[in-house]
């Protein structure tokens, strides 16, 4: 790493953190709630919109039933929160659904959950950030048409914030999350009071007409109508994501970890339920209309409103209605909602690297994901997550309605398998638990988890049926690919471990080579060559020879002359090179030594320049590099690099200095 990169890294990421300071980054509840619950909370910024938008396909009348669809979502939410409170108590180590499924249902189920969650974390970032960009562009006209670029910029900023570490981001994100709760709470309370006192005005879109799609001229009737209601429910279920983030993040809580996590879950459920229902009820009361394609679907006096019409998100429309005339409040609500959506993506930035690190520990992902980066956050996972989200945002042009079709599949796969695992978990415990009170508690917990299993399984089926052809297949395919790749990596690591394991008689592995045959590779007689010869002599091998490859006969004659003039203490052997190559003759010679004395160890000393600039690599060491990598393929060979530090490399090694004690 050059000095510039090093300095930039320090500037952007801060100083590295010691392992023993890990405890300091644990989160108290008041910080954990905004960090882990912002995902689920922020989804009220788009989940109600998606319910209204889907129902609007059947025209104006259909949206009247939106509170009932919302209620169905809330019922599922309550059940899931109740189930997960069992999970965090039973499995406080933070493997979350992955651990529950692995322990109770086996590694395949665990790996399925992990694949589903990894894909869904990426989608969480993509959906939240895209929705945030939508809010921003409804407020700032200059952003219109550039939502995708704006969203990608936001992902990059978030990734950097998280590379700096979880503690700092937790504190920075708490204030806007609490502001959001306060803003949405005020909207609900003031809206309810104005409705009760009969002073609630109509929304700005109340006067518009909605053009139903072909086939829905009669409204929500028949099978198609029922299917549309299910689709609206499936889209609204996006409000449930984020619950699993808390159960995966238990280790980041302060002690008592499980209790604190369970309390945070309860808080989250209460807040989400309140917000979703109040938004949908207020939207019905003020006749808010919200559609996917406003230009053609919304009619004013029987005529489409056209491309110039700007459709505000539902929360913004409600704020402009409830707080009509009080511009600062309206702006505040719009701004905090936009900000909370961006911060919601942060949930995934907390959860994804933790899960990736656990998977790397279990051998399902490359080992370097388990090693921590300079900062305590797991840098590699953060980078992978940001990369995936950017690809999705770019591919779907930051359109929430299109991204939401891919969403939730993973979360509900995880919910369902995890609840199945919990039911099995209680069954197992009940077999051995003699205490009556304990048994009763377990039986109650089992009922909660069984209800959760039934409900989440049903929602999973609904989601798959209503969304599969509209984009969910992409998510399913991605999970399949991730599953197969992770299984392949694990199989590879297992095979290598078996190959390398010491046999029943490890003493045989200790047999020493009988003699050491050392070779020093020489191209010219300069300081690096002299050093390599001196070092090789210092190790006192049984045989020591200098070897050069004759590419140009004149050079060899010159080298021999110098050799004699300096009265070198080592014999020089010249290898013929009919193909003008360096590598092949050397490898051939080493192999011939091994053939003649198979119990000898051959040590090849390679003088090497250490350079300070990347471009110097283009000018030096090219043949040494190729030679070294080829020699490693030959059994019974040790390749010893004898470095010569060029002056340009001295500066390069200085950044090292600050780590010295």
Using rule CB under 8 A, residue 528 touches a copy of itself: yes
Residue of the chain from 352, 605, 624, 627 that contacts a copy of itself (CB under 8 A): 605
Q: Cβ contacts of residue 13 below 8 Å, gap of 6+?
A: 160, 163, 164, 374, 375
- Select from 95-103, 215-223, 400-408, 524-532 the region that touches a copy of itself (CB under 8 A): 524-532
436 vs 387: CA distance, rounded Å: 52
Using rule CB under 8 A, residue 614 touches a copy of itself: no
Q: How far is the CB of 503 from a copy of itself (least distance, A)?
A: 8
Using rule CB under 8 A, residue 547 touches a copy of itself: no
Using rule CB under 8 A, residue 296 touches a copy of itself: no
CB 90 within 8 A of CB 425: yes
Residue of the chain from 241, 577, 586, 624 that contacts a copy of itself (CB under 8 A): 577
Q: How far is the CB of 501 from a copy of itself (least distance, A)?
A: 6
Using rule CB under 8 A, residue 566 touches a copy of itself: yes
DSSP per position, 516-539: EEEEEE-SS-SHHHHHHHHHHHHT
Using rule CB under 8 A, residue 563 touches a copy of itself: no
Sheet with 303-304, edge to edge strand ranges: 209-210, 298-300, 303-304
Nearer to a copy of itself, 153 or 513 (CB): 513
Using rule CB under 8 A, residue 597 touches a copy of itself: no
Instruction: Tell me the two tokens of residue 595.
Output: 């053939």
Using rule CB under 8 A, residue 482 touches a copy of itself: no
Nearer to a copy of itself, 21 or 108 (CB): 21
Neighbours of 454 (CB within 10 A): 13
Using rule CB under 8 A, residue 5 touches a copy of itself: no
Residue of the chain from 142, 506, 554, 614 that contacts a copy of itself (CB under 8 A): 506
Which stretch of DSSP H or E encloses residue 209?
strand 209-210
Q: How far is the CB of 499 from a copy of itself (least distance, A)?
A: 6
35 vs 25: CA distance, rounded Å: 13
235 vs 469: CA distance, rounded Å: 14
Using rule CB under 8 A, residue 620 touches a copy of itself: yes
Which x/- pattern, by CB under 8 A, does the window 363-392 give for a copy of itself? ---xxx--xx-x------------------
Nearer to a copy of itself, 424 or 531 (CB): 531
Which x/- pattern, by CB under 8 A, does the window 406-445 give for a copy of itself? ----------------------------------------
User: Which of the residues 628 through 657 are near a copy of itself (CB under 8 A)?
Assistant: 628, 630-635, 637-647, 649, 652-653, 656
Phi first, then psi, for residue 640 (nearest 5°) are -105, 115
CB 44 within 8 A of CB 340: no
Handedness of CA 29, 35, 41, 45 (dihedral sign): positive
Q: Is the peptide bond before 621 cis (omega within 30 degrees of 0)?
A: no
Q: How far is the CB of 147 from a copy of itself (least distance, A)?
A: 33
- Helices 436-467, 66-90: axis angle to 10 degrees equals 140
Give the closest residue to 273 by CA, choosing from 34, 55, 89, 48. Answer: 48
Q: For 173, which DSSP code?
A: H
Residue of the chain from 11, 19, 141, 301 that contacts a copy of itself (CB under 8 A): 19
Using rule CB under 8 A, residue 574 touches a copy of itself: no
């Amino acid at each position: 790493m050059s000095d510039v990169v090093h300095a930039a890294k320090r500037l952007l990421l801060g100083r590295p953190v010691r392992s023993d300071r890990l405890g300091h980054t644990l989160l108290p509840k008041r910080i954990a709630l905004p960090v882990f619950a912002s995902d689920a909370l922020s989804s009220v910024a788009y989940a109600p919109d998606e319910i209204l938008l889907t129902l609007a396909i059947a025209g104006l009348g259909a949206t009247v039933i939106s509170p009932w669809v919302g209620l169905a979502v809330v019922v599922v939410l309550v059940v899931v929160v109740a189930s997960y409170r069992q999970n965090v108590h039973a499995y406080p180590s933070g493997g979350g659904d992955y651990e529950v499924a692995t322990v109770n249902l086996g590694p395949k189920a665990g790996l399925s959950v992990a694949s589903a969650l990894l894909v869904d974390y990426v989608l969480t970032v993509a959906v939240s950030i895209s929705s945030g960009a939508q809010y921003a562009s409804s407020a700032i006209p200059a952003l219109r048409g550039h939502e995708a670029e704006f969203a990608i910029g936001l992902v990059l900023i978030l990734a950097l914030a998280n590379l700096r570490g979880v503690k700092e981001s937790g504190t920075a994100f708490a204030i806007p999350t609490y502001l959001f709760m306060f803003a949405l709470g005020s909207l609900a309370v003031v809206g309810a009071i104005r409705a009760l006192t009969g002073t609630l005005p109509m929304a700005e879109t109340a006067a518009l007409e909605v053009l139903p799609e072909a086939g829905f001229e009669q409204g929500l009737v028949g099978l198609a109508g029922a299917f549309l209601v299910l689709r609206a429910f499936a889209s609204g279920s996006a409000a449930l994501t984020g619950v699993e983030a808390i159960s995966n993040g238990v280790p980041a809580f302060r002690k008592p970890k499980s209790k604190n996590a369970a309390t945070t879950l309860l808080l989250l459920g209460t807040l989400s339920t309140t917000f979703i229902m109040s938004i949908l009820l207020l939207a019905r009361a003020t006749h808010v209309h919200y559609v996917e394609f406003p230009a053609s679907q919304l009619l004013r006096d029987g005529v489409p409103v056209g491309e110039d019409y700007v459709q505000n998100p539902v929360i913004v429309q409600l704020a402009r209605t409830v707080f009509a005339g009080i511009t600062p409040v309206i702006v505040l609500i719009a701004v905090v909602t936009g900000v909370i959506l961006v911060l919601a993506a942060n949930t995934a930035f907390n959860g994804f690297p933790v899960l990736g690190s656990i998977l790397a520990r279990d051998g399902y992902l490359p080992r370097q994901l388990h090693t921590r980066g300079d900062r305590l956050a797991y840098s590699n996972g953060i980078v992978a997550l940001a990369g995936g989200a950017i690809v999705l945002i770019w591919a779907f042009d930051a359109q929430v309605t299109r991204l939401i079709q891919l969403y939730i599949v993973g979360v509900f796969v995880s919910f369902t398998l995890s609840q199945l695992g919990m039911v099995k978990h209680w069954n197992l415990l009940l077999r051995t638990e003699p205490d009556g009170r304990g048994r009763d508690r377990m039986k109650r917990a089992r009922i909660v988890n069984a209800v959760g299993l039934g409900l989440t399984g049903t929602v999973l089926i609904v989601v798959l049926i209503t969304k599969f052809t509209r984009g969910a297949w992409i998510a399913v395919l991605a999970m399949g690919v991730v599953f197969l790749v992770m299984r392949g990596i694990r199989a590879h690591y297992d095979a290598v471990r078996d190959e390398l394991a010491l046999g029943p008689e490890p003493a045989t592995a200790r047999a020493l080579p009988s003699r050491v045959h050392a070779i020093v590779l020489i191209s010219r007689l300069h300081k690096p060559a002299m050093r390599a010869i001196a070092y090789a002599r210092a190790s006192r091998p049984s045989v020591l020879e200098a070897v050069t490859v004759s590419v140009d006969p004149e050079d060899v004659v010159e080298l021999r002359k110098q050799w004699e003039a300096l009265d070198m203490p080592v014999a020089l052997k010249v290898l013929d090179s009919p193909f003008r190559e360096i590598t092949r003759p050397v490898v051939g010679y080493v192999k011939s030594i091994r053939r003649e004395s198979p119990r000898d160890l051959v040590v090849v000393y390679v003088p090497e320049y250490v350079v300070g600039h990347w471009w110097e690599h283009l000018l030096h060491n090219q043949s040494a590099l190729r030679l070294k990598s080829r020699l490693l393929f030959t059994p019974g060979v040790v390749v010893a690099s004898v470095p010569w530090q060029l002056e340009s490399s001295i500066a390069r090694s200085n950044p090292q200095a600050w780590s010295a004690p």
